[in-house]
Structure 1
Amino acid sequence: MVITQAAFDAAVRAGDFVEGHDLSAIDWRDLPSGDVRVRNCSLVAGDLLQGELNEADFEAVTFVDCRFGGAELTNARFSQCSFFDAERRLGCDFADAQMRGASFIDCNLSMSRFAGANLHAVHWQGCKGAGADFEDASFSRKSGRTVSVAGRFVDCALDYVNFTRVCLDDCVFDGSSLRQADFKRCSMVGASLQRADLIGAVFDQARLDNGDLRGAVLTGFDITGLEGFAGIKLNDSQLGAVVGPLGVRVFPG
């Protein structure tokens, strides 16, 4: 059932949940307030460009071939949402979106694109994101002369993602599958990859200084391609796989 703009605006104005509707006809610009709450709805080929959706709450919403370019999504919350068209293998486009502090819980963001998006302190928990493209996205925030980097991807399926040249210092990927992920020329100083599956992941010219790889699956991991790895954290059982390419053999004590 397609909801009209007037009915949608009235629900937003009242702070009510919009539930069980097709939102494809909605204009997301100039909404009466930012108190947008949506549940069990769908949106096909939606244009959310420049949408004012800070603090918005989306639950079990299906977004198909949607564009969020330049949308304001600071501290927005998405739970059990899908942004992936499985039939066409197509994700949604978040180019240049402001997504500081946004959270995604049990969502499917496979093949989505984040070029130019501000993702500082974004949180993904239990999400699917295979093939997502983060090249040219930013996880940084500048306050005066201080630059902080933050982002969390916990227990996510992120195989084949592209993080080429992105600064991921201090970001968290604990328990996530990152098979054949592309981290070429990334800065990952202090990043946590505990229990991550890194089979086939590419780290050419990346910096992993003080990175935490304890419990990670490191089959095929080539430390010689790193730009830096001082202070890297490993379990005893991982030493052989990591230092083997350096010509070092590890023997039981």
Structure 2
Amino acid sequence: MNHRIVRRFNMFESSLDISEETGIIEGRKFNNLDWSNEHQPDLVFKSCVIIDSKFSGANLNGLRLINCQVFNCDFIEANISNGEFENTLFYSKDSQKGCDFHSADLRSSKFICCDISTSNFYRAELFDITIDRCQAQGCHFELADFTKVVSRKVIFSSATLTKSNFKYSDFEGVYLEKCDLSESNLVSVVLSGVNLEGSNLTNTIFSPSRYDGLSIFKADLRNAEISNIDVRLLDFSGVEIFEWQMIPLMEEMGFVIHPDN
């Protein structure tokens, strides 16, 4: 598809008009945009800055953000499915806040090498989402939906949450069965009521702050750094680990481990 290149500007703009033709917006700065409930699919922003703007309820299906800075923006209930976000900052160091994706549709979207720290994904639709090589500290994923209902009795979950820093993030009540969280930092995360059955947790730093109601049946924790877990409180049936990982787990229970003579 050929994209229309929209002319560059250096100063902040508070409005943006796009024709029906799909556009590439490059090297521009925007603040206080109000695109609430707008219909603007398949847009591409490159090297842009977007601050304090509203996209709540908008149809932004297929949105692409490349090397952008998106600070203090409202995407509540927006349709951003099939979006692609690369090397983009959603976290403002000045305000120490991320963006608000509360109840947004982010199905099949991809965050690659982004900073989404402290962003709010509460009750967002996240089936088939990819978050790879991202900073995602302190994010709110409570009750986010990573599933697709196939039938009354069949629920299928899909998510790739790999090589990312989820330290202090809250995943309470989410369903991540057979999802890929490999090589991610899961220090001080909230995993209360989370289903991680059959999930790939290899090479993670697995040290949740809360894990009441966590289900990890047949999860793969090989080569993970496991700590802050009382194995007596969880069902470890079918969980895969290496032999060397048994020592810290036993020490967490109070055993004093001596080397073999």
What's the TM-score once normalised by structure 2's chain length?
A: 0.87
Match of 2:134 in 1: 127
Deviation at 1:4, TM superposition (A): 6.9
Gap change, CA 1:246 and 1:25, over 3 Å in 2: closer
- Asked if the contact 1:224–1:245 (Cα under 8 Å) also holds between the matched residues in 2, the reply is no
SS of 2:25 mapped into structure 1: strand
Deviation at 1:250, TM superposition (A): 9.1
Give CA-to-partner distance per residue, 1:163-198, whole Å, 9 cap, x none.
112222112111111111111221111111110012
SS of 2:240 mapped into structure 1: coil
Gap change, CA 1:104 and 1:82, over 3 Å in 2: same
Gap change, CA 1:20 and 1:149, over 3 Å in 2: same
- Asked if the contact 1:221–1:241 (Cα under 8 Å) also holds between the matched residues in 2, the reply is no
Give CA-to-partner distance per residue, 1:41-70, whole Å, 9 cap, x none.
111111110111111111112111111101
Residue identity in the other structure for 1:22: K
Match of 1:52 in 2: 59
Runs in 1 of length 4+ with deviation above 6 angstroms? 247-253
Which structure 2 residue ranges, 5 or more long, are not aligned?
1-10
- Matches of 1:21 and 1:4 in 2, distance apart? 11
- Structure 2 residue 115 is the aligned partner of structure 1 residue 91: no
Instruction: Determine which of 32, 38, 41 is the counterpart of 1:30.
Output: 38
- Matches of 2:66 and 2:182 in 1, distance apart? 24
Which structure 1 residue ranges, 5 or more long, are not aligned?
none
- Matches of 1:27 and 1:200 in 2, distance apart? 39
SS of 2:187 mapped into structure 1: coil
- Asked if the contact 1:205–1:225 (Cα under 8 Å) also holds between the matched residues in 2, the reply is no
- Matches of 2:207 and 2:109 in 1, distance apart? 29
Instruction: Determine which of 9, 13, 16 is the counterpart of 2:18.
Output: 9
SS of 2:225 mapped into structure 1: coil
- Matches of 2:67 and 2:159 in 1, distance apart? 23
Residue identity in the other structure for 1:225: L
Gap change, CA 1:97 and 1:200, over 3 Å in 2: closer
Gap change, CA 1:73 and 1:206, over 3 Å in 2: same
Match of 2:179 in 1: 171
Give CA-to-partner distance per residue, 1:95-143, whole Å, 9 cap, x none.
0101111100000010011111011110011000100011121111112
Corresponding pairs, count? 248
Deviation at 1:147, TM superposition (A): 1.2
- Counterparts of 1:114-153 in structure 2 under 5 Å? 114-145=121-152, 146-153=154-161
SS of 1:239 mapped into structure 2: helix
Residue identity in the other structure for 1:198: F
Gap change, CA 1:250 and 1:206, over 3 Å in 2: farther
Residue identity in the other structure for 2:171: F
- Matches of 2:211 and 2:14 in 1, distance apart? 49
Larger strand proportion of the pair:
2
- Matches of 1:150 and 1:250 in 2, distance apart? 42
Deviation at 1:89, TM superposition (A): 1.5
- Matches of 1:76 and 1:116 in 2, distance apart? 18
SS of 1:182 mapped into structure 2: coil
- Matches of 1:30 and 1:133 in 2, distance apart? 26
Gap change, CA 1:168 and 1:251, over 3 Å in 2: farther
Instruction: Determine which of 213, 221, 233 is the counterpart of 1:205.
Output: 213
Larger helix proportion of the pair:
1
- Structure 2 residue 223 is the aligned partner of structure 1 residue 225: no
Residue identity in the other structure for 2:199: A
Deviation at 1:26, TM superposition (A): 3.7
- Asked if the contact 1:194–1:216 (Cα under 8 Å) also holds between the matched residues in 2, the reply is yes
What's the TM-score once normalised by structure 1's chain length?
A: 0.90
Deviation at 1:203, TM superposition (A): 2.3
